[in-house]
Amino acid sequence: QAVLTQPSSLSASPGTSASLTCTLRSGFDVGTYRIYWYQQKPGSPPQYLLRYKSDSDKHQGSGVPSRFFGSKDASANAGILVISGLQSEDEADYYCMIWHNSASVFGTGTKVTVL
């Protein structure tokens, strides 16, 4: 089982909100981690979106619109990337990441399709 599990795909309509989950494997407490999010479009390198640990420990990437924001669901042991006001240009792969024991771990990735 992967340390960070993401749904393989998600489809949503323009103008709606999409919530992408990053579920941590049992034994990994989401409350203790900074979760990083990246967007990758075909043929391009990933781009850093944001970091979220708590409302007092978060960072927005340079030039990243505020309609991208992070949160957590402690009951689900998951980090969440919310994209509000979905646009066609948001169609991409999205990855979460944490640092654990001096190693970086990426999530399995979610392909977002804007219908």
Partner 1 sequence: EVQLVESGGGLVQPGGSLRLSCAVSGFTFSTYSMNWVRQAPGKGLEWVSYVSTSSSTIYYADSVKGRFTISRDNAKKSLYLQMNSLRAEDTAVYYCARTDAFDMWGQGTMVTVSS
- Chosen residue from 5, 19, 21, 47 binding partner 1 by CB under 8 A: 47
By CB under 8 A, residue 1 contacts partner 1: no
Stretch that binds partner 1, among 14-22, 47-55, 69-77, 84-92 (CB under 8 A): 47-55
Output the DSSP codes for 46-64.
-EEEEEEEETTEEEEPTT-
Q: What is the rounded CA–CA span in Å between residue 29 and residue 21?
A: 15
Q: Is 51 in the site for partner 1 (CB under 8 A)?
A: yes
Q: Does 12 bind partner 1 (CB under 8 A)?
A: no
The count of other CB atoms within 10 Å of the CB of residue 94 is 24
